[in-house]
Amino acid sequence: MNETVYKERRDRLLEMMDDGVAVLSTAIMQMRSNDTEYPFRPNSDFYYLTGFEEDNSVVVLCKKGDEHKSVLFVQEKVPEMELWTGERLGVEAAKACFSFDEVYGIKSFEEQIKELIKEHTLLYFELFDDNKVYAQLKTVAKTMLHTRGVTVSPRSFSDITKLTQQMRLIKSDDEVALIKQALSITEQAHHHAMKRCRVGMLEYQLQAEYEYLFKKEGAFSDAYTTIIAGGNSANTLHYIKNDQLLKEGELVLVDAGCEYGFYASDITRTYPVNGIFTPAQKELYNMVLDVQLKVIAAIKPGGSKKELQAFSEKLLTEGMVAFGILEGEVEALLEEKAHKKYFPHGIGHWMGLDVHDPCPYSDDNGDELLFEEGMVMTIEPGIYLPQDDEKIPKKYWGIGIRIEDNILITKEGCENLSQGIAKTVDEIEVACC
Ligand code: GLY
Ligand code: MN
Ligand code: MN
């Protein structure tokens, strides 16, 4: 994305802030074991405001009336370190490549932050994140408080993520383009894997087909750990062991989406291991698909996630009654939440830089946020019918089905960004053969 996009975001955030100083740090390198590290990925809010991908960096935004200033701290260039871990941009190049008012080396953070927070009473930071930078910040603020002659020092703290998460709710065209790119790769991966899925494969072997395609097409990472759940394992919602055999006559539920340009995709498809649905699988699958299509058709500006949740629960409960999974009146079953046993999760969630984008679902009064053009969410109804559940017809035992797409809310309604991924019974059977 063009560098000016990030500057505009910082300017917008400064407009939203009260007078004060905001400090956002990126993620830190995490050790995997002894001296080997997990791959680095920047903190989403930090990246949203800077476009800067290196670790060990901090952004500071200062506001006093009309005076706004944005400052970046980066890891200094250290040739001995670069020999091992590669070239860094360094202070001078970061100054030239990014439009910050000031850029400093991270080693000078403590010294510079003293100057930057001077004369300010309000500090914004990620309230629920504890890291070294915030510890330094608090130490500096505390020292100021106890310094003779200093009459103004920070005494109020506010959560900056409340503002950034509000900003992240509405996606720009550039962001939607990245999500679409992620989805184009995810689509190829699902189709590639459907073709290669065989009875007798291990779940992780099918996972490898997804990961191969993600990497091959330039998505460096998955957006979350892939779920490959054969048969009854699909009834464990966050099943990630992926170490069992894929068996004849069973379905496999695959929840897999890549991350591209740090933007997520989040797609679930459920398909027969041998490529052909049994009659029992087909009738349940079509019921869930029908629910998913009806829920998507109901999405438009002014609607809300709460409405979609209630609508999907009603439709799924009707389906469960029709197939003898629940017995009784739909309204009464909904009232006593009987359906939750077989559909225990939400109908969807915001998606963007994070697969579960941490944007608000309600306003400060607790009122549901209404859909607006530019929001992106998943729609993912499912039904989970455990093995040996005497309460349900035996032919459905051990079947778990979820169908998940990624939806952009538009001016008039919505656009299914993942509509190219095989989803009907016929499309899936063709894709699997
Ligand atoms: N893949 C996580 C989710 O569907 O929410
Ligand atoms: Mn999801
Ligand atoms: Mn998912």
Q: Could you read off the pLDDT of 57-75 as tens digits, one per residue?
A: 999 999 999 999 999 999 9
Task: Reduce the secondary structure of the chain to three states and give it as a string.
Answer: CCHHHHHHHHHHHHHHCCCEEEEEECCCCCEEECCEECCCCCCHHHHHHHCCCCCCCEEEEEEECCEEEEEEEECCCCHHHHHHHCCCCHHHHHHHHCCCCEEEEHHHHHHHHHHHHCCCCEEEECCCCCCHHHHHHHHHHHHHHCCCCCCCCCCEEEECHHHHHHHHCCCCHHHHHHHHHHHHHHHHHHHHHHHHCCCCCEHHHHHHHHHHHHHHCCCCEECCCCEEEEHHHHHCCCCCCCCCECCCCCEEEEECCEEECCEECCCEEEEECCCCCCHHHHHHHHHHHHHHHHHHHCCCCCCCHHHHHHHHHHHHHHHHHHCCCCCCCHHHHHHCCHHHHCCCCCCCCECCCCCCCCCCCECCCCCECCCCCCCEEEECCEEEECCCCCCCCHHHCCEEEECEEEEEECCCCEEECCCCCCCCHHHHHHHHC
Confidence of residue 212 (pLDDT cuts 50, 70, 90): very high
Confidence of residue 210 (pLDDT cuts 50, 70, 90): very high
Residue 189 CA to ligand 3 centre (angstroms): 14
Rg, C-alpha atoms of the chain: 25
* Ligand 1 within 6 A of CB of 52: no
Residue nearest atom 3 of ligand 1, based on CA coordinates: 266
Q: What local confidence, expressed as pLDDT, does residue 165 receive?
A: 96
Mean of per-residue pLDDT scores for the chain: 96
Q: What local confidence, expressed as pLDDT, does residue 21 receive?
A: 97
Please give the Cα distance from 227 to 240 (Å, whole number). 5
Average pLDDT over residues 304-321: 98
Q: Which residues are catalytic?
A: 35, 238, 255, 266, 345, 349, 356, 380, 384, 402, 404
Q: In what order do the strands lie in the sheet with 258-260?
A: 221-222, 258-260, 263-264
pLDDT of residue 252 exceeding 90: yes
- CA nearest to 377, candidates 415, 412, 321, 336: 415
Nearest ligand 1 atom to alpha carbon 257: 1
Q: What local confidence, expressed as pLDDT, does residue 131 receive?
A: 86
Q: What local confidence, expressed as pLDDT, does residue 61 receive?
A: 98
Using an 8 Å Cβ cutoff, are 117 and 144 in contact? yes
Q: What local confidence, expressed as pLDDT, does residue 423 receive?
A: 98
Using an 8 Å Cβ cutoff, are 21 and 117 in contact? yes
Per-residue pLDDT tens over the stretch 356-415:
999 999 999 999 999 999 999 999 999 999 999 999 999 999 999 999 999 999 999 999
Nearest ligand 1 atom to alpha carbon 402: 4
Q: What local confidence, expressed as pLDDT, does residue 200 receive?
A: 98
Per-residue pLDDT tens over the stretch 265-282:
999 999 999 999 999 999
Average pLDDT over residues 182-195: 98
pLDDT of residue 151 exceeding 90: no
Please give the Cα distance from 252 to 250 (Å, whole number). 7
Average pLDDT over residues 186-209: 98
Q: What local confidence, expressed as pLDDT, does residue 145 receive?
A: 87
227: left (phi over 0), alpha (psi -120 to 50) or beta: beta
Residue nearest atom 4 of ligand 1, based on CA coordinates: 266
Per-residue pLDDT tens over the stretch 5-48:
999 999 999 999 999 999 999 999 999 999 999 999 999 999 99
* Ligand 1 within 6 A of CB of 259: no
Every domain of the chain and the residues it spans: 3-167, 173-431
Residue 268 CA to ligand 3 centre (angstroms): 5
Per-residue pLDDT tens over the stretch 122-140:
999 998 888 888 999 999 9
Q: Given ligand 1 and candidates 356, 401, 418, which is best to mutate, with the most ligand atoms within 8 Å of its CB?
A: 356
**Residue-wise burial string across 126-150, b where 16 or more C-beta atoms lie within 10 A, e elsewhere:** beebebebbebbeebbeebeeeeee
Q: In what order do the strands lie in the sheet with 227-230?
A: 227-230, 251-255, 268-272
Nearest ligand 1 atom to alpha carbon 238: 2
* Ligand 1 within 6 A of CB of 222: no
**Which of 80-84, 370-374, 414-418, 425-429 shows the lowest mean pLDDT across its residues?**
80-84
Q: Residues within 5 Å of ion ligand 2 by Cβ?
A: 266, 378
pLDDT of residue 152 exceeding 90: no
Strands 20-25 and 122-125: parallel
pLDDT of residue 148 exceeding 90: no
Average pLDDT over residues 74-88: 94
Please give the Cα distance from 168 to 358 (Å, whole number). 9
Please give the Cα distance from 433 to 197 (Å, whole number). 9
Fold of 173-431: Creatine Amidinohydrolase (3.90.230)
CATH architecture of structural domain 3-167: 3-Layer(aba) Sandwich (3.40)
